[in-house]
Structure 1
Amino acid sequence: MSAMNKKRTESTETLKKVLRFIGRYRILLVVSIVLAAASVLLQLYVPILFGNAIDQIIAEQKVNFSQMWRWLRQVLLVVLFSGAASWIMNLINNRIAYRTVQDIRAKAIRHIQKLSLSYLDSHSTGDIISRITADADILSDGLLLGFTQLFSGIVTIIGTLVFMFSRNVVITIMVIVLTPLSFFVAKFISSHSFQMFQRQSSARGQQTALIEEMIGNQKLVQAFGYQDKASERFARINEELRESSQQAVFYSSLTNPSTRFVNNVIYAGVALAGAFLIPGGALTVGGLSVMLAYANQYMKPFNDISSVITELQNALACAARIFALLEEKPESPDPSESLSDVKGSVEIDQVSFRYTPHRPLIENFNLKAEPGRRIALVGPTGCGKTTFINLLMRFYDVNSGTISVDGKPVDQISRHSLRSSYGMVLQDTWIKNGTVRENITIGKPDASEDEIIQAAKMSHSWEFIRRLPDRLDTVITEDSLSQGQKQLLCITRVMLCLPPMLILDEATSSIDTRTEMLIQEAFDRLMQGRTSFIVAHRLSTIRNADEILVMKDGSIIEQGTHDELMKKGGFYHTLYNSQFVNTAE
């Protein structure tokens, strides 16, 4: 299949997908088509009425004014009815177009919630945002233009031909024979513009992604003097967007003047042919004015449709990007079985995992964590500690082996049930735009104020919360708190839920030493009787762990208590001593 045929097939498939969404509003669509037909037919009747009025001018000083005014009054009524039908049709078209795009956006957001983290990790946030916002906006504009002009244009072409045949067959056939020239010109140009609009849409997504990345990390950009490099990257993408946009718009803008040129030639031909027919009595002056009006109305939709096709090519290119997101394979189906009365026994049996097929990360991982035990994971950066946590929470599925909780394989348990059994505090914090109360009660929305305050006191976040203007009802954003305060709120969430199992991944990395010591005491109380997995770089914080797993290159190379590992004098001994040597220096 040639590249051109492939693009044409892609465009057709995308159109079918859009039509499936539009099909939900088929009743409104039918009403819109009926109103379009009514409006067009009434407009097409106007030239006949004008022609009849003109024919009342019989000769010099011979004008039948009473009949002329009767025809002109009918013109006024027909125009009013046609305008009302067109106005209602436009309202319906607006509703169909914007509701369709609303449905597509809603489905896209729901689908994103089901996508695996592997997809989200491999695609920039800005590009995904661009698909749901900018691309959807362009799709709605294209649909609106299509509904408004495409239906009316098709009905106009058919209706005009019927009226023209009723007036003069010879001129009508001449118009029909010459008109395909206009259509072929429009089709040739539009068929080449789809690929250009795809390039434009892709470049726009890259630009949005870069802007989102640079603005979101502006402190890092300035701290590392990356401004010039960022500007160079933006200039490069901006130039690509300018070039692709210019080519797409220039090429597509040739459609209208090209078809207008052909249509004007046809119009001149009708006038010339009609002028020769009048002396023989085959056509009246009023009849010629009617044919000229019809010839103009017949050709005008070809100009409009050519513009619509150009916009639809742009809209379909954007729709293709949205549907590419919608068609991404979601996470594997979620089982219906739930965990209940969780004891906290976790068993990992011969687990292997890799992000990419050719790069092994975790191989033949084995672990059995009895209920209530504290398991610490240590090792150099990139050894697989955080990946192990992702597998525990089933953010990723293992390539082989099994992970079980209370004897049940996690792939046979609903993700919500599994994840709600863990309390998780990460080094990377997440705060949503809302009140402090809303941020704390994410895992327990029905918590009472006393419970919230008690959890805040246990996590030592109450010290700064009570100083906020509205305390728990203070509205906060991602940037209104320090990194340490955000981490304290994340710890408070866990303190409020009191889950049967805990995951602490550098949970106190952004907190001052004094507060960290107090929180460690709170964690010690919280971990009593709860299976806990602790990831820490500061090895002094995990000395009291029941078992320490030393990881390297995705495998457990040492295992035991702190004292046991120190006696072995192996890799853990080297890691532990190196931290204190560096501290002393």
Structure 2
Amino acid sequence: MEDYELYDLDKKEKIDYKATFSLVYSLSKPYRKQLLTAFFYLIFSTVTSLMIPILAKYAIDKAIRAGNAKYLLLIMSAYLANSLIFLVFNYLSAMKLIKTGQELILGLKKNLYEHLLSLDTDYYAKTPVGKIMARVQSDTSALYELFTQTVVSIFKDVLLFAAIFIIMFYYNASLAKILLPVVIFIVVIVKIFIDKSSSVFVSVRKLIGEISGFLAERLNAVSTVQSFNKAEQEEAALEELNMKKFKAALKSEFYSIIFFMTLIMFDPVSKALIFGYGGAAVIAGSMSLGALVMFILYVGQLFEPIFMFSEHISIIQKSFSAGHRINSLLSIKPKIIDSEKPVYIDSFKNSVKFDGVWMKYSQDSDWVLKNISFEIPKGKTLAVAGKTGGGKTTITNLLLRFNDYQKGEITVDSRDLKKINIKSIRKLIGLVQQDIYLFPGTVAENLKLMDSSVEDSRLDYAIKILELEYFYKKHPLNKKITERGNNLSQGEKQIIALTRSMVLDQEILCLDEATSNIDPYTERMLTRAIKNVMKHKTMLIIAHRLSTIESADKILFLHNGEIAEQGTHEELICLKGHYYKYYSLQSGI
């Protein structure tokens, strides 16, 4: 898909039942054995429920009217045994469905998470996190309801409905035929309800996603909202979204209530017809009183699956709406994928080379990089400087395959980057960005990136190499870090991120504006650490502060996406060109 944005997908108000059913079927396929077991348990419980009207018939005709107390006692015992069997099989079915449903949704969430991790960074730039979370949490919960409460129950209801009709036709076909017009009318009502309500249920699920997205964005930016005194406006915006959801939910419930009340109306109508025609047959002597009572009980049971279906239909609509949204997410394909026969590399030996690389983010946009060529030999440091928006960060994005270039070639050890397995190239390259993300947990856990297989000795080694012992005395390895590292300064987060890259022992290190927006003391500490890294790693440094790249082996200065100048710090200063002017501006020369 050219456009990742989920809003476009949400505009499809009608549910694609075929695609959604295909998703539901594929999800349930690995659990067919468990679902069939639950279904068979329900069959047994259904059979026991069908026995109740028959037992009532024999109790009236063979025991009560005949005055046979022993036979009545036998019927009572059979009824109690039948009820016990019903409860046991209902319990077994419920437990099997709950366990299977949990396993199924756990697998679905795992698949969704794996899929989300495979998508390109462009997708997350265009899609609110809250909308994604709504799909992973809320929509999967709706599917859980479908599998645990609905799918097998519908099979049971259909089976019960069919079995009752067969029994009724077996005992008295002419009386059973009276109910056929009622059943046909109910089928028409169900069809109308599904057609009318499907778009409403989609709207409700869509608005839930929008509200989740709104909350996630605003809560992350709560300090900005408060500082500009915009709390009332944000409250009004949320109120507007909540009101839309309220109206859509009210409309969906209105449809459900009207549907349910319409079905309820047919229950007394059907019983009245059976009382009238059946009662006349009893008076005429062509039908026993027990048989009439049996028919009345079966009519009650006949409407039980219909009433249950009226409740299930709401769950089905919500679940299929959720399934439609999950399906739309799973149908999004990453733009950056491996070639058919990718090359796997486990080490870096020679050099990284850009050869005449051109890149733009879309067909309609301008070129971000124009004819970029350079080489980074193993163990050397290349720095890229230039004004904001000049294409510096794009170079690291291309090397890490976050984006792809349109012309030219990038090679790693003389291998075409596009033919190298994406995971293996990212395993070689560490990235320290300006905006550092740290996870809730200890400093040590963040240095290991939550990988328990990383030995503690790697942490000690990295801290020693970077000469950061003093920093980690102030911030010990067992110190707790809050979400996103909010209890640390920007510079402290960048030091931890730099240490992390050394701990994970990646052979190529990219620093993307890693020394921006930090205090002078932390900058000096970080600059010293970077110089120590240069002794051990191949480095690509995207620099805003030029003081951090003076010792780089080579510096490129980008201007409007092109290499305007290149050389060492001293050589570029002597040129008195773009780099010199930029350096002079920062250093106050």
TM norm structure 1 = 0.91
Q: After alignment, is 443-452 or 213-222 more displaced? A: 443-452
1:347 aligns with 2:353: yes
- Conserved 8 A contact 1:378-1:551: yes
Q: After alignment, is 7-16 or 176-185 more displaced? A: 7-16
The 2-side partners of 1:531 and 1:99 are apart by: 45
Q: Cα distance, 1:138 vs. partner? A: 1.2
Q: Choose which of 383, 401, 404 in structure 2 pairs with 1:376.
A: 383
Q: Cα distance, 1:291 vs. partner? A: 0.6
Amino acid paired to 2:55? L
Q: Choose which of 318, 323, 329 in structure 1 pairs with 2:333.
A: 329
1:465 aligns with 2:472: yes
Corresponding residue of 1:397 = 404
Q: After alignment, is 547-556 or 16-25 more displaced? A: 547-556
The 2-side partners of 1:83 and 1:310 are apart by: 26
Q: After alignment, is 303-312 or 564-573 more displaced? A: 564-573
Q: Cα distance, 1:210 vs. partner? A: 1.5
Q: Mapping of 1:233-244 within 5 angstroms?
A: 233-244=237-248
Deviations 1:214-263, CA, capped at 9 Å, x for gaps = 22232232233332332233223222222222222222332211111123
Q: Mapping of 1:27-426 within 5 angstroms?
A: 27-56=33-62, 63-147=67-151, 149-330=153-334, 331-333=336-338, 336-360=342-366, 361-426=368-433
The 1-side partners of 2:184 and 2:129 are apart by: 46
- Conserved 8 A contact 1:143-1:312: no
The 2-side partners of 1:237 and 1:424 are apart by: 39
Aligned-pair identity (%) = 27
Q: Cα distance, 1:454 vs. partner? A: 4.0
Q: Cα distance, 1:293 vs. partner? A: 0.7
- Any gaps of 5 or more consecutive residues in structure 1? 1-5
Q: Cα distance, 1:367 vs. partner? A: 2.1
Q: Cα distance, 1:336 vs. partner? A: 4.8
Deviations 1:83-139, CA, capped at 9 Å, x for gaps = 211211112222232222222111111112222222222212111111011110111
DSSP-derived class of the 1:278 partner? helix
Q: Cα distance, 1:337 vs. partner? A: 2.6
Q: Cα distance, 1:213 vs. partner? A: 1.4
Corresponding residue of 1:521 = 528
The 2-side partners of 1:36 and 1:279 are apart by: 38
Q: Mapping of 1:536-551 within 5 angstroms?
A: 536-551=543-558
Amino acid paired to 2:354? I
Q: 1:541 to 1:141 in 2, by over 3 A?
A: same
- Conserved 8 A contact 1:337-1:414: yes
Corresponding residue of 1:494 = 501
Deviations 1:535-575, CA, capped at 9 Å, x for gaps = 12222332333333222332223333344444444433443
Q: After alignment, is 551-560 or 201-210 more displaced? A: 551-560
Q: Cα distance, 1:183 vs. partner? A: 2.0
User: How many residues get paired?
Assistant: 573
The 1-side partners of 2:13 and 2:244 are apart by: 21
Query: Over aligned residue pairs, what C-alpha RMSD do you find?
Result: 2.5
Deviations 1:149-175, CA, capped at 9 Å, x for gaps = 312211111110121112211110111
- Conserved 8 A contact 2:13-2:203: no
- Any gaps of 5 or more consecutive residues in structure 2? 1-11
Q: 1:160 to 1:451 in 2, by over 3 A?
A: closer
Q: Cα distance, 1:312 vs. partner? A: 0.6
The 2-side partners of 1:445 and 1:57 are apart by: 73
Amino acid paired to 1:383? G
Q: Choose which of 478, 481, 486 in structure 2 pairs with 1:476.
A: 481
Corresponding residue of 2:7 = none
- Conserved 8 A contact 1:373-1:531: yes
Corresponding residue of 2:6 = none
DSSP-derived class of the 1:508 partner? coil
Amino acid paired to 1:333? D
Q: Choose which of 544, 568, 571 in structure 2 pairs with 1:561.
A: 568
Q: Cα distance, 1:318 vs. partner? A: 0.5
Deviations 1:296-346, CA, capped at 9 Å, x for gaps = 111221121122122111101101111222222134126553335524522
- Conserved 8 A contact 1:434-1:475: yes
- Conserved 8 A contact 1:460-1:515: no
The 2-side partners of 1:57 and 1:390 are apart by: 85
Corresponding residue of 1:17 = 23
- Conserved 8 A contact 1:365-1:556: yes
Q: 1:132 to 1:498 in 2, by over 3 A?
A: closer
Q: Choose which of 482, 504, 511 in structure 2 pairs with 1:504.
A: 511
DSSP-derived class of the 1:473 partner? coil
Deviations 1:358-379, CA, capped at 9 Å, x for gaps = 1122233222333444322222
- Conserved 8 A contact 2:508-2:539: yes
- Conserved 8 A contact 2:14-2:202: no
DSSP-derived class of the 2:284 partner? coil
- Conserved 8 A contact 1:344-1:530: no
- Conserved 8 A contact 2:50-2:164: yes
Corresponding residue of 1:3 = none
The 2-side partners of 1:13 and 1:101 are apart by: 18
TM norm structure 2 = 0.90
The 2-side partners of 1:146 and 1:565 are apart by: 72
Q: Cα distance, 1:43 vs. partner? A: 1.0
Deviations 1:370-391, CA, capped at 9 Å, x for gaps = 3444322222222221121111
DSSP-derived class of the 1:369 partner? strand
Corresponding residue of 1:428 = 435
- Conserved 8 A contact 2:337-2:422: no
